[in-house]
Every structure is written in C-alpha cells, then in structure tokens.
Amino acid sequence: MSENRRLNAPHEYGFETRTIHAGAQPDPVTGARNTPIYQSTSYVFDDVDHAADLFNLQTFGFMYSRLTNPTVSVLEERIANLEDGRAAVCASSGHAAQFLAFFTLLEPGDEFIASRNLYGGSITQFGVSFNRLGWTCHFVDPLDPENFKNAITPKTKAIFIEVLANPGGVVVDLEAIVSIAKDAGIPLIVDNTLATPYLCQPFHWGADLIVHSTTKFLSGHGTSLGGALVESGKFDWAQNEKFPTMTEPDPAYHGLTFAETFGDFGFTMKARAVGLRDFGPCMSPQNAFYTITGMETLHLRMDRHIANAQAVAEFLDGHPGVAWVSYAGLASSPYKTLAEKYMPRGAGSVFTFGVKGGYEGGVSLVQNVNLFSHLANVGDTRSLILHPASTTHRQLTDEQRAGAGAGADVIRLSIGLETAEDLIYDLDQAFVAE
C-alpha cells in the first residue's frame, strides 16, 4: 500500500537520497536492486480468511492490480515521501488523479472553487464534464486571495489551485489561500505538477491534498502517462458536517467509516478502495517503473531545467519580436517575490511570452523552430513549444483563454536539458523566418 514509510528514522535523509531510495527495497525473491515491473493482474491469497480480510479492508496487501500493484506501490510511497505527505494513490493520468480527488470529496449539488489560471484541460474538466456529475466549479482570479473567500458558499467543499500555473507562469500566494481554506473548514488541493516537490512543498505551507500529472517532470522523459493524489494526513474530516463521504458508513464495506477506520490516510484509502475499484483509472506497472526511474534524477534535471529557462527567458525579454515575458525568475516579474518565497530553488522551466505578431505570429513561430518540439506536453528532457490558443486552450472562449493566460499571442515554452545557447539560437532564427 502507499502508506509513507520513511527511511530508517531517526536520521533525516535528504531529498536527493529519497528520490532514489524512498519506498524501494531489493526484490525479496531475486535480490534485484531496481524495482521490478510486476506485470500481473492478480495475486494468490494465503487462504480464505486472508482473501476475506483483503476484500474487507481489514489487512493490507495485493489482490488485484486495479487497486494495488507492487511496482505502483513503490512509486506511491516515493511521491508521498518527497511531498512529506502521509500517503498517495497513483492513477492513469493527472486528470484521473483530479477525478479521484473530487469524487472522494463531493456529492451531487456540491461546489468547489478553482483558480482561473489553470491548464486548459482542467478548466474543461471542472467547468464542463464535472457539471454532468452535479459538481459545480466557480473560477476566480487567484491574484487576489480574497476572491477565493468571497466565492465560498455553504455548498463549497474545496479550493483548487496550481501553485505555478500552466501556462501563464502565475505564482499564487499559497499561504494566504491556505488561511482562507482553513477558516472555511475545507481542504486546499494544490496541483504541484510544474513546481514538483523539489521546488515547492505545499504541505509545509498548510495545503491538505496535492495532485500531480506524473507524466510531466516526475517521469521527465515524455514516455509515461500517470497521475498521483497525495494526502497530508492533517485535515480533520470530522470538524464539520461537510464531508459525509469520509465520516458516514460506507455501504460497500459493511458500514466502515473511512475517516475513523484509517485516520490520517483515510482519504487516499477511500480514493483507492472506492474510486479505483469502481472507475478503474489505475496506473500501469510499466508506466510506474518508468516514472520511478525518472524520479531518481529529478533533482539533477530540475536544476538544469531552471538554469536553461532563466537564460532563455532573459534572451526573450530583450527580443524585438517579443511583447512581454511571464517568467517568475525575471527581476521584472510581478511574481518574483512569491516565487522566491514558495520556490527558493527556482521558478521552474515552463513559462509564456507574447509574440508581437499576435495569433498569426504565434502560429508562424511554432512552425519555424527546428530544435524545439511542437507538441502538447511539458516536463520533457527535450525543449517543447506550444501555441495554446490553437491547441490546449482551443476549446475555451476568448475570454476564458485570456483569463487562463493563454491569449492569442501567447507562446508556451517547456525548457529542456539541451545547451542553452542552442535553444536561444533556434528561437532567434524562428523569429527571423516569420
């Protein structure tokens, strides 16, 4: 299971050590040092009583890979450890992780509040698809935390933010929003995908739940889809009557109450035992294996990502074909102070800038680069370029795109690990070719 077992307390191991060792042990049968790919659908029970205990959630173990898998479990423990969380559950994608979080929290008629500065797919998921389930999302401008407070109603069950927004590079005031959520007695859910636990630790600031698209920086090589939901273990689900899914008996488990039975990892247990059980968005063991491998170099990759991003952003900031650059690492950025507070190691490597040629100029630029790859992903070793208005945010209205930081002139870059001078050259020649 994904219960976070720390490495040989009382010694406090460093982040770099934990990216390599957390959650993993040599294979007990073969002695293999790398975590094997346990490509199995199911697992043999010790006896009838053991089987019954597993199905009744009276013991932990492996029975069916939709719920638990040994390879995936290592990844869950590693992510929980790096986030300093209590437990984690992995899913087939970042959107699947978000679904598990809200399915576990909400009932038909419930509401939640989200920053309007989100990945376009999340805006559609929250604003369109979730409506079909009876869940209502209210989007607010995150630059003024009071907007979250003003949007709270008796039906509000959560606040959702990206600590480093995709694609706009907006850094939110995490501490201020945490305070608002706590005063309202509701959890704060933070998408930490772009920052990663190497740059930002939302639980240290009081967040309650974290979601990741592990597809991005955690995997790091553009090979493996996945998502993760992480629980801090510190939210009191019984503090009010807002969360009956956690505090009332579950009929599928003979009246078991998740918050009472599992305590500080009850939320992830419910997401697993009900969400994964009934909807099945589980992570494959092979994708878990690739992500485990990728995470072993997370700290090294992020340092290079950030150094390259800083160099490219500074180049673009002075380019005649660029109207503006939104990168929190620039001295001119309105988010620099917040970035230094919440991400002291650096402002990440995904940012946006505006092309003076508008929509047509953006389309032309992405067609003229050679080294940058034009595709819909971030967090790869390779540098990536995208025109959100014609791709990831195409389904949104002009107003929604502008609010999300994906206007007609916006180009999103995900800076990889190449030689910085080569990336600058490629962008410069693409401007000339317009």
Cα separation, 223 vs 93, in Å, equals 13
Q: Report d(CA 342, CA 267) in Å as an integer.
A: 26
* 12-41 burial code (b ≥16 CB/10 A, e <16): eeebeebbeebbbeeeeeeeeeebebbeee
Domains of the chain: 15-294 (3.40.640.10), 298-433 (3.90.1150.10)
**Cα(145)–Cα(71) distance, integer angstroms:** 40
Distance of alpha carbon 212 from alpha carbon 264, whole angstroms: 20
To 5 degrees, how large is the angle CA 240–CA 187–CA 169?
Answer: 160
Could you read off the pLDDT tens digit of each residue along the chain, which spans 434 residues?
444 445 556 788 999 999 999 999 999 889 999 999 999 999 999 999 999 999 999 999 999 999 999 999 999 999 999 999 999 999 999 999 999 999 999 999 999 999 999 988 899 999 999 999 999 999 999 999 999 999 999 999 999 999 998 877 899 999 999 999 999 999 999 999 999 999 999 999 999 999 999 999 999 999 999 999 999 999 999 999 999 999 999 999 989 999 999 999 999 999 999 999 999 999 999 999 999 999 999 999 999 999 999 999 999 999 999 999 999 999 999 999 999 999 999 999 999 999 998 888 888 999 999 999 999 899 999 999 999 888 766 667 777 777 667 788 999 999 999 999 999 999 999 998 66
Rounded to 10 deg, the angle between the 358-368 and 420-433 helix axes is: 130
